[in-house]
Amino acid sequence: MNTSFIKRLLTSSDSVAPLALRVPAGIIFMAHGAQKLFGAFGGHGLEGTGQWMASIGLEPGMLMAFLAGSGEFFGGLFILIGLLTRPAALVLAITMIVAIVSVHLPNGLFMSNGGYEFGLSLLAIAVSLVFSGAGKLSADSLLAKRVR
């Protein structure tokens, strides 16, 4: 096992700043993932989301709904607890890029018009976490100490 790679993956600054991003973003991503996967919070579940994704050209719709929902739900959970934060945040950043380009970009910036401002905010948070890591008070921090 390459402990050098694992150390770089898990180690981040000893700051609580990423926590301020991780907690709200993790909750938001998990809720959106739960809408797609389970129909929670007024969502359409996997089947309904899959049909919608197919209708906008993201085929196969059910697979795309599963990937987006799983990425959001489990990626959100992982960044919330700070576990494998960098890879989870990378998955979420890619998910947000796809959402912005395929759904929101033609509607302009503002959320009131179905625009991409919310997706852009979540993308910025995810990218920030890719670079910063989980910070203090995270599962990554605990694991990094054990690897040392």
User: Which positions ≥6 away from 84 have C-beta within 8 Å?
Assistant: 9, 78, 140
In a domain, 2, yes or no: no
> Which residue is associated with the tokens 């991780």?
22
Domain tally for the chain?
1
In a domain, 116, yes or no: yes
Task: At 10, give phi and psi (nearest 5°).
Answer: -95, -25
In a domain, 122, yes or no: yes
Question: Has residue 1 got a pLDDT over 70?
Answer: no
Q: How do residues 29-47 score in pLDDT, each as one tens digit?
A: 999 999 999 999 999 999 9
In a domain, 5, yes or no: no
pTM: 0.93
Where in the sequence is the domain holding 40, given as residue range(s)? 15-147
